[in-house]
Amino acid sequence: MRRIAIGLLALALSACASLEPPAATDNYRAKNFVVPPPGALVVLLPAPKAPDLAAGEMMMTAQLHRQLRALGYRTALLDTANHAKVWAQEIEAVGGLFDPGTGAPRPGAHARALSSLARRICAEASCALVMQQRMVLREARLGGTKAEWDGQRRRVPVVGAGMDNYSFSGQTGALSVELVVFTKDGEPAFRSYGGASLPYRLNAGKEGNEIRPDLFDNDEEIADGVRIALQPLMRAA
């Protein structure tokens, strides 16, 4: 009887441990999107170069090249200067991204410009997909010692005290990889988010949050975010 009970307990614990955090609720995949075959070219647009995220963006771009190639794709990165030039042309062609009177974003303008840019790039480069990449600050849900967001679950960093002394609830900021992808015909393929890093840690001595000094010391967390964000390109085994 004891052996059976232990077996059932182990099974229950294993089942609980295998549960993955849910994907982002605002992920999008077009119903008619077909995953390109191996050997297809994917063109990456340069990351925005946000001052506080530059190191992470470099890791993100490198990981996208690495993981896309591992999936069997060829990859290329559009030159930053060239991208700035052609993107300005596409913005002008749609009449600008913002209302000149109010400064508010013009509905659909960004998507139309990106769609046209994708068609233009793929016509010249014979690519299958154009991928816009960004690192974005998202909202993570706190529970106990963990934070959960965009398909990711991580332990909340704490310094100056034992982790067992703290239990968290509410929300906190978290970094995710955002991919917005268009087909060669300029059709939206998918938008996906992959949870990467918790940029803040609790400093118990100061009784407040602070930016993690080791945030971009290595690319393991960024690699994980890229892996999650690339799920729409994963082929069924």
| Residue 222 within any structural domain of the chain | yes
Tell me the mean pLDDT in the region 145-162: 87
pLDDT at 5 over 50: no
Domain assignment present for 34 = no
Enter the tokens of residue 160.
Answer: 């100056």
Region 127-134: what's the mean pLDDT?
97
**What is d(CA 43, CA 228) in angstroms, rounded to the nearest whole number?**
19
CA 162 to chain centre: 31
236: pLDDT strictly greater than 70: no
> Does residue 75 form part of some domain?
yes
Enclosing domain of residue 179: 39-233
CATH number at residue 221: 3.30.160
- The number of folded domains in the chain is 1
| pLDDT at site 150 | 98
Spatial distance between the Cα atoms of 145 and 166, rounded to a whole number of angstroms:
7
Of the candidates 178, 171, 176, which has an alpha carbon nearest to the alpha carbon of residue 209?
Answer: 171
112 in a domain, yes or no?
Answer: yes
Does 161 score more than 70 pLDDT? no
Our measurement of the distance from residue 8's CA atom to the centroid of its chain's CA atoms, rounded to an integer in Å, reads 37
Going by pLDDT thresholds of 50, 70 and 90, the confidence category of residue 205 is confident
Q: Could you tell me if residue 115 is inside a domain? A: yes
Would you state the pLDDT for residue 164? 56
Other residues' Cβ atoms within 10 Å of the Cβ of residue 207: 8
- Is residue 23 included in any domain, yes or no? no
22, part of any domain: no
- Any idea which residue has 């690519």 for tokens? 127
Helices 54-70 and 220-229: crossing angle, nearest 10°?
50
Q: What is the mean pLDDT of the chain?
A: 89
Lowest mean pLDDT among 13-17, 25-29, 102-106, 227-231: 13-17
Say if 6 falls within a structural domain.
no
Instruction: Kindly report the number of other CB atoms within 10 A of residue 182's CB atom.
Output: 24
How far apart CA 48 and CA 208 sit, in angstroms, is: 30
Instruction: Tell me how many degrees the CA angle 182-183-186 measures, rounded to the nearest 5.
Output: 75
Q: 16 pLDDT exceeds 70?
A: no
Rg (CA), the chain: 21
Half-sphere exposure of 194 (CA within 13 A, CB side): 22
- Report how far residue 59's alpha carbon sits from residue 222's, in angstroms, rounded to the nearest whole number: 7
